[in-house]
Amino acid sequence: MILMPAWPALLGFAYIGALVIAVVLSIATRQQPRRRNIHIATVVLTTPIALTLAFFVFLRFTIFKEPPALADLQRDFPSKRADLETILRMSDEDVTFSRIAPDFLDRTIDNPNEFGRYMNDPKAGLPPSRWDAYRKIYTQAGIKLGIQRDNSRDAFIMVDSVGLLNRGHTTGYLHCAPTAPPSAFRFYPCMLHQDNGARKYDPNTRDEGYSFQKLVDRWYAYDEGPS
């Protein structure tokens, strides 16, 4: 039995063949206006390839760009520490918010049936000028995702992330609260009390992946995910 190539494959071979012929003729042909016409045809044929490559480069360096590694976070920490501590202090004052991102807020609420996420909503309870103050420091320190607190008051200041759901990870600066209730959820470095550590994501148990490096005091460079 003879298998015939699928139409997409045939079209692909024909396209590549035409492109190769056009390139060869554009180099070998000297007679005008034939040479000019061949050059135009070559440009037309190469344009889709150039646009495709540009699209993949855009994805690689924007949407799928890796966030800073632990070594990068450690290197930048001294210059960013003052801003990070300002963000932490402001969040201590805005204790009713578990997440303050540049574009949304998560407010701790008493009613478990309500969803406490707000986007440019005055009902959130954070004055616009206060939110703008966070955004200004985020921009200054290169913080793209804001700050997240848990009920232990550990704080994860998220620099950047890549990927979605259980295929992505987030890196940033973690500050462990000095004390926490026994039943409170805590980030792994705050529970392990180690200078560094790591665990790969296990798809069978779905145990979350993480890695961390202690910086100074209760500060860590932290990578969370996949989860």
Mark whether 41 and 81 lie in a shared domain.
no
Cβ-based neighbours of 160, under 8 Å, separated by 6 or more: 65, 67, 68, 144, 145, 170, 171, 172
pLDDT at 66: 84
Q: Report in angstroms the alpha-carbon separations of 174 from 107, 147, 159, 208.
A: 20, 10, 10, 16
Mark whether 46 and 152 lie in a shared domain.
no
Q: Which residue has the higher pLDDT, 50 or 160?
A: 160
Largest CA distance in the chain: 85
Look up the domain containing 198 and give its range. 70-224
Give domain status of residue 1, yes or no.
no
Q: How far apart are the C-alpha atoms of 146 and 101, rounded to whole Å?
A: 4
Mark whether 55 and 77 lie in a shared domain.
no
Whole-model pTM: value is 0.71
Mark whether 74 and 53 lie in a shared domain.
no
Give domain status of residue 2, yes or no.
no
Average pLDDT on 42-55 reads: 55
Mark whether 57 and 74 lie in a shared domain.
no
Q: How far apart are the C-alpha atoms of 8 and 14, rounded to whole Å?
A: 10
Mark whether 80 and 46 lie in a shared domain.
no
**Tens-place pLDDT, residues 143-178:** 999 999 988 999 999 999 997 656 788 999 999 999
Positive or negative torsion for Cα 62, 88, 103, 171: positive
Mark whether 124 and 34 lie in a shared domain.
no
Mark whether 52 and 83 lie in a shared domain.
no
Instruction: Name beta bridge partners: 97.
Output: 107
Mark whether 50 and 93 lie in a shared domain.
no
> Domain total for the chain?
2
Mark whether 119 and 13 lie in a shared domain.
no
Mark whether 136 and 214 lie in a shared domain.
yes
**Tens-place pLDDT, residues 63-122:** 456 889 999 999 999 999 999 999 999 999 999 999 999 999 998 766 555 568 888 888
Mark whether 24 and 83 lie in a shared domain.
no
Give domain status of residue 76, yes or no.
yes
